[in-house]
Structure 1
Amino acid sequence: MTPRQCRAARSLLGWTQQELVEASGVSMTSVRNFERGASQPIRANLAALKAALESGGIVFIEANGGGIGVRLKD
């Protein structure tokens, strides 16, 4: 997951950074720094962020000739 995917996923869900913090258990500082591209979270935190967003209904799209992205589950 990239910082842009994280921001886009939150936007699709209508989540604030605080809501992502609460859903993932990752600190606000880590979320803010990741989303602005200032730092990469440790692997466990990145997995927790991704899992929280997926639990909310996000599907991450890998690069498949059309670029990476996110969408909501049907």
Structure 2
Amino acid sequence: MRKSILKVSIRQIKAARALLNWSQEQLAHAAGISIPTIKRLEAQDGQLGGREETAMRILGSMRAAGIEFIDENGDGLGVRLKKPARK
């Protein structure tokens, strides 16, 4: 059984990519990991698994782009795109 990492689901990752209008290739580039790794992870369902370092790179690149992952709070898991900071 694979350990889940930070309770982020594959569906949240896919939703975050959609909000950013990123392809799997763009996510792989931003996270500094291979395209086959992204494809393999997204072919699953459930919690984001794999190596912790890989998951941290994926989540870090998405957070840096403005994604906020929303925990289960009774209303369900979610994801949102933060408003850009005002200058």
Corresponding residue for residue 32 of structure 2: 25
Contact kept in structure 2, 1:30 and 1:41, CA below 8 Å: no
TM-score, length basis structure 1:
0.92
- The 2-side partners of 1:65 and 1:40 are apart by 23
Question: SS where residue 41 of structure 1 aligns?
Answer: coil
Following superposition of structure 1 onto structure 2, how do residues 1-74 of structure 1 map, counting pairs within 5 Å? 1-37=8-44, 40-74=49-83
- How far off its partner does 1:40 sit? 2.7
AA in 2 matched with 1:13: L
Structure with larger Rg = 2
Question: SS where residue 74 of structure 2 aligns?
Answer: coil
- The 2-side partners of 1:63 and 1:26 are apart by 28
TM-score, length basis structure 2:
0.79
CA offsets 1:15-45 (integer angstroms, 9 cap, x no match): 0111101100111111111111078320000
Identity across the alignment (%):
35
- The 1-side partners of 2:72 and 2:41 are apart by 20
Q: Which runs of 5+ in 1 are unaligned?
A: none
- How far off its partner does 1:47 sit? 0.6
